[in-house]
Structures are given as C-alpha cells and as structure tokens.
C-alpha cells in the first residue's frame, strides 16, 4: 500500500507537471481512499473503464485523458454525473496526466510508441510553445513507405491511413501520439521524411503532399495506449502495489 498523497507527489515530480501548461488539470482529479494498494490504468476515464476498475477492486485509476478540460461545461449532469458518481461511491481516486505523459522521455506515450514501432529515439523537440513532445529518429537504412505502413499495422493492430508526400523512402521520421496532426509543418521545416501521429483532418492530406512529408495516421487511441500502461508498471514496481491495465477498445 502507498499513501495517495505520496503517490500523487511522486507522479507530479516524475512527470514534471510544474513546468508544463496544459488544457486540463494534471494530477489528482477526484479523491478517493487515502491509501492505494491496487491501481488500474487506461487511456480515457470513460464509464466503461471506471466500471472495469470497480470490478477489479481498484483503489485508484490512472489515465491519460481525464476530466475538467478547458472550455467544457462545468455542470455535473448526465454523462459527467454518472462518471463522478461511480468514482465517489466506489471511493476510487482518479489521477490524470495529459501532456506530461506525452512528453516523458522514457515512460511517456511517445517514448513507448517509439519502442513498440522499433524506431530509434534520437531526440525530441517542441513544435511551438510548450513541452518537447515530438520525438524523432533516424533509421539505420531507408525504409519504403509501404513497409513502414505494414510495420505500423502489425505492431499496433490496425491499418494506418497513409498519405504519401512523394516517392522517397523514409530515413528520418518524427512522431507524436494523439491529435498532433497540426505539427506537420514544424516537422517538415526540420527536414523529416515522414511523420506519424494519431489523427488526421481534412487539411492534413493536402499539407502532407505539398510539404513533401509522408503522413501516417495510426489512431488516437492506438498511439496512446502504451504510455499509461508503462507508467502503471513502473509504479507497481516502485511502490510494490498491484497494477492492471484495462484496454477499452476504441477505433478512433
């Protein structure tokens, strides 16, 4: 067992939350039991995840996508009421880490995604103001785009949507999980051959072709399910607590 406050303090320090501005509060979002012996992790704090955590007897739930996003309604009604009611009735704490989890160089989403895809992690950069959340690497040998797409499909269990930015092979590749398609221009300005993220929007198709950068949209959920699991495994080892990762399938 670990004291909840000690767990939160450790995470806040480990993920350097104090230096990162975000769109939602990072850390403890809903307070439950004072001590944590069983931790459940998942990508998003959906009702399905919370129900699975309650069934597993979790004391706390750790996610990448939590609550209280900037600009969303503060009213606790409907869907929000059901989620919060379950947490409070079960006395389960909710901990959420968004950009800090994307940015961590070893335990974060992008670090874990790179390992899953077998990509060398040679560096990372900030695409604008904010943390260094775009990771990059240089492959030992140039890789045809079709072969890279097959690797992504095999290792993530889903076919990426691929936009060819030309006929060149991939040697230098950058990646950033989730809804990071807007960083494509910053990637192109640094001379990368390809860029992989989670989502794609209509302008991204044209931008990739005109900028000459291959773009692979591998799924928001699929690219962000590894960091929180890695973090949960680290916490289990560090504090000697039980950990279970719950995968709530999401095709987006």
> Does this model's pTM top 0.85?
yes
Asked if residue 65 belongs to a known ligand binding site, the reply is yes
Place of tokens 């030992």: 140
Asked if residue 224 belongs to a known ligand binding site, the reply is yes
Residues 6+ apart with CB under 8 A from 37: 1, 2, 59, 241, 242
Point out the residues of the chain with pLDDT beneath 70: none
Residue 226 has a pLDDT of: 97
Asked if residue 64 belongs to a known ligand binding site, the reply is yes
Residue 9 has a pLDDT of: 98
Q: Which domains does the chain have, with CATH numbers?
A: 2-97 (3.40.1390.30), 104-223 (3.40.1390.30)
Residue 193 has a pLDDT of: 98
E strands, the chain, in order: 2-3, 27-30, 35-36, 38-44, 60-65, 93-96, 123-125, 134-143, 161-163, 170-175, 194-197, 214-217, 242-245
């Amino acid at each position: 067992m670990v004291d909840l406050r000690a767990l939160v303090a450790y995470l806040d320090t480990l993920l350097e939350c104090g230096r990162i501005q975000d769109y939602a509060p990072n850390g403890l979002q809903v307070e439950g039991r004072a001590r944590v012996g069983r931790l459940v992790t998942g990508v998003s704090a959906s009702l399905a995840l919370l129900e699975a955590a309650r069934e597993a007897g979790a004391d706390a739930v750790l996610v990448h996508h939590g609550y209280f996003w900037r600009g969303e309604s503060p009213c606790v009604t409907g869907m929000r009421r059901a989620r919060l009611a379950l947490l409070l009735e079960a006395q389960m704490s909710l901990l959420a880490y968004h950009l800090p989890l994307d940015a961590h160089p070893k335990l974060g989403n992008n670090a874990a995604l790179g390992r899953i895809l077998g990509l060398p992690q040679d560096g990372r950069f900030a695409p604008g103001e904010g943390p260094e959340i775009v990771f990059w690497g240089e492959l030992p040998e140039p890789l045809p785009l079709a072969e890279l797409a097959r690797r992504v499909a095999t290792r993530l269990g889903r076919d990426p949507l691929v936009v060819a930015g030309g006929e060149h092979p991939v040697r230098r590749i950058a990646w950033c999980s989730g809804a990071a398609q807007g960083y494509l221009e910053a990637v192109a300005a640094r001379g990368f051959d390809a860029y992989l993220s989670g989502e794609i929007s209509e302008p991204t198709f044209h931008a990739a072709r005109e900028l000459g950068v291959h773009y692979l949209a591998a799924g928001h959920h699929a690219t962000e399910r590894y960091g929180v699991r890695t973090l949960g495994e680290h916490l289990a080892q560090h504090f000697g607590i039980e950990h279970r990762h719950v995968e709530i399938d999401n095709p987006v």
